[in-house]
Structure 1
Amino acid sequence: LMALLTARQRMGAAALILAASAILSRLMGLVRDKVISWQFGAGGEADLYFAAFVVPDIINYLLAGGFMSITIIPLLAARLREDEDDAWRFFSCVFFWMLAASLALTGAGMLWAEPLARLTAPGFSPEASARLAFFMRLILPAQVFFLSGACFTALLLLRRQFSVPALTPLIYNGCIIAAGLLLPLIPGAAGLFGAGGDMGMTGYCMGVTLGAGLGAFLLPLRAAAAGGLRLAPVWRHPLMGRFLLIALPLMLGQTVIMLDEQFLRVFGSLVGDGAVSLLNYGRRIAQVPVGLVGQAAAVASYPFLVRLLAEGETERFDKTLRAALAGSLGLIIPCALWMAAAAWPILGIIFQGGRFGPEETLAALPLTRLMLAPTPFWIIYMVLVRAYYAHGDTLTPALTGTAVTLVCLPLYPCVAVPRGAWAVAALSGLSVSVYVVWLLWIWARRHGAAAFDGLAALAARCLACSAPAAGAAWFMAELCRARVPLPPFLAACAALAASGAAFALVALPLARLFAPELLTMALRPLRERLRRNRGQDA
């Protein structure tokens, strides 16, 4: 029991570090999008900027860059215990092949940017497609830094050095904002990089590559080198076969989770001008609670799940997995319901202003609420898929996700696009939910349902406590919008404060009466961290 508690405490500390990073990163991402929406609104340059990420993101998926820690950590950890010198040869082999593959795919993307732009944004005009190709060429080199730097980040996570990986998204977003705002101020930059003397979003695109180079590559490289990185040009290693067997399903299995944002961009371009931007802004809001809750819990829990399985502790594995799922659901359900109720003031504060007017806010409102609905399934996926990967099973999530993708793909142009942006958003949420339910069913059949004991009842109690509170929050937000005689931004701030207070006043007493474990789970990591700090001070 003490060993399990110790593991949970370390996992809680790691989750706190990553959660703090996720909070700051999401805030910076929202600041970035606020600047973009203020300058460019919805449509035009903003549509092009968001669509320019489709091809670079797919390259990242094809090389499983986002899953580097999942694929390399188990193999590298085992090899370090057996033969440290050979472990470094294996790490070097993975790094140099990742570097070579990312250079090759990025080069191909830059060479064929024009046809790729027409393929990924079929609804854009020829002039817009040409501008999109230019943006893609600026953004594509970032993938070299992301993919090769992911190897160093995986090494740091294996060493349980969470601080540097936590800084990566902050530096990335900071560079995008700085380059977007400062580059147009440089004399002659508009004539050199702009279209017709107008920089547009060129600076933001250049900031993507700059931020990736500094935050995703140079910083992890320096931290890894300080801890004793041993890198040599190695191109063959016996473990590469096993590494590819683990990584190949992630490379080939283009699941609805991976392609969700890209589908919104591709099919949003067919809906009409501004749809890509509005869908993107709505998704940004919906992904905030997912990033804050799910990403920290998933990344922090994975090394512990791997270790528990390696030690044959299946019962503790189930308890740790259940704790991660329960804690995540207990936070995401009230958070998502409140955000849906307060979507108008949230959109008004974050995006409205400049070229993003009240009409755009109202247009983004239903899209945001639709994309908040499946956030509990996003959270379950982010934690559960790590449990699959801890078992060395990358094939099941890839195959099931690809199957759902193939079923949903024709529904986008045939069913969703003719009905508008709201249908594209709804189909996105439905496909993610179906995929996650399928993964839950497969896990229960193969490994039993011990990790899910009590989760349905917990979610139901959480929903019962949060739904009335969300109704009160919505009422207060609408009351402020209709009755408070303030400028739009101040009215949105007042509505947000009133809705938050109304939600808390209703939800907290209900949770204390009917679901006290929700409050305990929400406060436990902070209490453990404070207790540990007091012990160190003493």
Structure 2
Amino acid sequence: MGWAAFIMGASILVSRFMGLIRDKTISYFFGASNQSDLYFAAFVIPDFINYLLAGAYFSITLIPLLADYFDHNEQDGWHFFSTVFTWIGLIISVLTGVAMILAPQLAHIAAPGLQEEDLTRLAWFLRIILPAQICFLLGSCLSAVLYLRKQFTVPALTPLIYNLSIIAGGVLLHGWGIVGFCWGVLAGALLGNLLLPYLAVRWGGGLRLRFSLYHPGLKRFIVLALPLMLGQSIVVLDEQLVRVFGSLAGVGAISWLSYARRIMLVPVGVVAQAAGVASFPFLADLFSKKNFTQFHKTLNEALKSVLTLLIPVSLWMMVVARPTITLIFQQGHFGWQDTEQTALLLQILLAAVFCWGFQQVLGRGFYACQDTLTPAILGTIVMLISLPVYYVLTQHYQAVGVALASAISVALYTAALFLWWLYRFGGESFAGLGEIVVKVAIVSVVACGPATFLATLRIPHWHNHPYLEALYTIAASGLMFSIIFLALAGYFLPALIRPFLRKLGPLGTRFIR
């Protein structure tokens, strides 16, 4: 599980880095303007359709079922897979076609705060991006087979190809304006998310795909997937809510929020998402074998590891939020005013990073138990509660209010998942977590003191070199924070920190000594 998490974590890290390059390219050419707002708003409807069909959770839903069928009869397993694949292809194709026809009307829903002429362009962007959802959903089915085979490399490559295609489309078609990035989205989805997994499944163990409309297991799949389809969790709709309410917060707000959210999700993806994806097949296997003691122990270890990494990283990132935005985005049409706004929003969003990580892993625990209903119901309830929170805070605090509402919503959802798991399964999976959170938080806050001093220290004559100053600030404060944190954690939290240090090789071993 550790190696699988390492592969996925490395992939997500590179993917997030490429995502930052993509957003850097957009911010360079268009800054935080109505054009960049249009681009980010163009994903609201396509992403909602993806979430409506539980596209982000297809692998989670399919893996336990595929495991059962393939264990008993491989031919029957391929029959089941073909039936699911056929129905998903038909449904997403019909929904995509209808959405393309209704694009002008859907544009008003995606960004109600935009002007009429901008909404016309938004409808055009929607029609370009919408077909990518066909590739995403069918590719998710194929990736489920790869995860089942414990083949993580190709799924790890798909987001890299996707982001690279978007960057290439925007640069090569720059003369067309920001629409070039939209064409890059479609190309990246086709190449990275559909074609690559298809070839990997076919060449990595065989693919027996045929047109099929019925299999007895289809009903079982629908029962598991339906809660994810109908229950729109706050964590999957958070990005869309940020964009919708961001359109009501003035020009540039959608872009500021999108840039800040992208950086906030880097530690979430590298640490929590990787741990969740890697641990899920193992958790599902343990649950199917009714090895509940090891199941709770594995979940507990995953939660401890995620919190041990996310709490210090997110606190340090809050310290260096401004130089980070300066280094990554402040160039071209993205000015210092945009940097100040985006850095403030980033700090607010980072405050809830540990909640993102906790729910990512705990949610996989529910899915491993083949319980997709509970997270869907809790997520939908929290989403309904959050809508007025978004509206009120947006009206009073504009973009800052949107960021606050996002952080509050994720925290509420995490608390709901935690309390329900505690009620249903007891506290075995959370043994020692409270003490660890408190100790890691204290050590992190202490380490942030000197790091904050270095981050606020201004070097004479460097005001004409903002990127060099930002790079120095991040490096110096990061080094100071790391040394103090590792020293204190190694002394007060040796059982937690030493496994991570050992993975650093000789350097980590020497630090332990």
Normalising by the residue count of structure 1, what TM-score does the alignment of the two structures yield? 0.92
**Structure 1: which amino acid aligns with 2:188?**
G
Query: Offset at 1:524?
Result: 5.0
Query: Offset at 1:519?
Result: 1.9
Aligned equivalents of 1:14, 1:221: Cα separation in 2 = 21
1:176 aligns with 2:166: yes
Aligned equivalents of 2:438, 2:396: Cα separation in 1 = 35
Correspondent of 2:449 among 471, 474, 477: 471
**Structure 2: which amino acid aligns with 1:68?**
F
Question: 417-426 vs 111-120, which deviates more?
Answer: 417-426
Contact 2:167 2:184 in 1 (8 A): yes
CA deviations over 1:86-137 (Å, ceiling 9, x no partner): 1111000000111111111111111111110011101000011011111111
Aligned equivalents of 1:526, 1:249: Cα separation in 2 = 42
In structure 1, the partner of 2:493 is 515
In structure 1, the partner of 2:44 is 54
Aligned equivalents of 1:82, 1:127: Cα separation in 2 = 58
Aligned equivalents of 2:370, 2:173: Cα separation in 1 = 46
1:153 aligns with 2:131: no
Aligned equivalents of 2:139, 2:258: Cα separation in 1 = 26
In structure 2, the partner of 1:314 is 292
Query: Offset at 1:512?
Result: 1.8
Instruction: Give the secondary-structure state (helix, strand or coil) at the position aligned to 1:271.
Output: coil
Contact 2:490 2:498 in 1 (8 A): no
Identical positions, percent = 49
Contact 1:17 1:162 in 2 (8 A): yes
**Structure 1: which amino acid aligns with 2:17?**
L
In structure 1, the partner of 2:480 is 502
Instruction: Give the secondary-structure state (helix, strand or coil) at the position aligned to 1:123.
Output: coil
1:142 aligns with 2:132: yes
Aligned equivalents of 1:240, 1:526: Cα separation in 2 = 46
Instruction: Give the secondary-structure state (helix, strand or coil) at the position aligned to 1:236.
Output: coil
1:93 aligns with 2:83: yes
Aligned equivalents of 1:377, 1:406: Cα separation in 2 = 19
- The within-5 A match list for 1:342-381 is 342-381=320-359
**Structure 2: which amino acid aligns with 1:98?**
I
Query: Offset at 1:15?
Result: 0.7
Instruction: Give the secondary-structure state (helix, strand or coil) at the position aligned to 2:486.
Output: helix
Aligned equivalents of 2:503, 2:282: Cα separation in 1 = 16
Contact 2:59 2:140 in 1 (8 A): yes
Correspondent of 1:121 among 111, 115, 118: 111
Question: 492-501 vs 216-225, which deviates more?
Answer: 492-501
Contact 1:297 1:324 in 2 (8 A): yes
In structure 1, the partner of 2:99 is 109
**Structure 2: which amino acid aligns with 1:38?**
Y
Structure 1 pair 506–486 and aligned structure 2 pair: CA distance change class (3 A): farther
Query: Offset at 1:527?
Result: 5.8
Query: Offset at 1:72?
Result: 0.8
Contact 1:341 1:471 in 2 (8 A): no
Aligned equivalents of 1:460, 1:353: Cα separation in 2 = 39
In structure 2, the partner of 1:194 is none
Aligned equivalents of 1:242, 1:331: Cα separation in 2 = 37
**Structure 2: which amino acid aligns with 1:155?**
V
1:420 aligns with 2:398: yes
In structure 1, the partner of 2:4 is 14
Correspondent of 1:390 among 344, 351, 368: 368
Structure 1 pair 453–482 and aligned structure 2 pair: CA distance change class (3 A): farther
CA deviations over 1:262-317 (Å, ceiling 9, x no partner): 11100000010000000111111111100100111000000000110111110000
1:401 aligns with 2:379: yes
Normalising by the residue count of structure 2, what TM-score does the alignment of the two structures yield? 0.96
Aligned equivalents of 1:149, 1:408: Cα separation in 2 = 32
Structure 1 pair 527–87 and aligned structure 2 pair: CA distance change class (3 A): farther
**Structure 1: which amino acid aligns with 2:231?**
G
Q: Which runs of 5+ in 1 are unaligned?
A: 1-10, 185-189, 191-198, 532-538
Aligned equivalents of 1:67, 1:333: Cα separation in 2 = 26
Aligned equivalents of 2:395, 2:161: Cα separation in 1 = 36
Query: Offset at 1:471?
Result: 2.6
In structure 2, the partner of 1:534 is none
Correspondent of 1:222 among 182, 185, 199: 199
Query: Offset at 1:415?
Result: 3.4
Aligned equivalents of 1:522, 1:481: Cα separation in 2 = 34
Aligned equivalents of 2:411, 2:444: Cα separation in 1 = 20
**Structure 1: which amino acid aligns with 2:289?**
E
Structure 1 pair 246–482 and aligned structure 2 pair: CA distance change class (3 A): farther
Contact 2:54 2:229 in 1 (8 A): yes
In structure 1, the partner of 2:214 is 236
Aligned equivalents of 2:160, 2:298: Cα separation in 1 = 29
Query: Offset at 1:255?
Result: 1.2
CA deviations over 1:399-433 (Å, ceiling 9, x no partner): 01101111111222233333211111011101110
Aligned equivalents of 2:451, 2:39: Cα separation in 1 = 34
Aligned equivalents of 2:504, 2:424: Cα separation in 1 = 35
**Structure 1: which amino acid aligns with 2:172?**
L
Question: 315-324 vs 415-424, which deviates more?
Answer: 415-424
Question: 34-43 vs 411-420, which deviates more?
Answer: 411-420
Query: Offset at 1:49?
Result: 0.4
Contact 2:393 2:405 in 1 (8 A): no
**Structure 1: which amino acid aligns with 2:193?**
A
Contact 1:176 1:211 in 2 (8 A): yes
Query: Offset at 1:321?
Result: 0.3
In structure 2, the partner of 1:535 is none
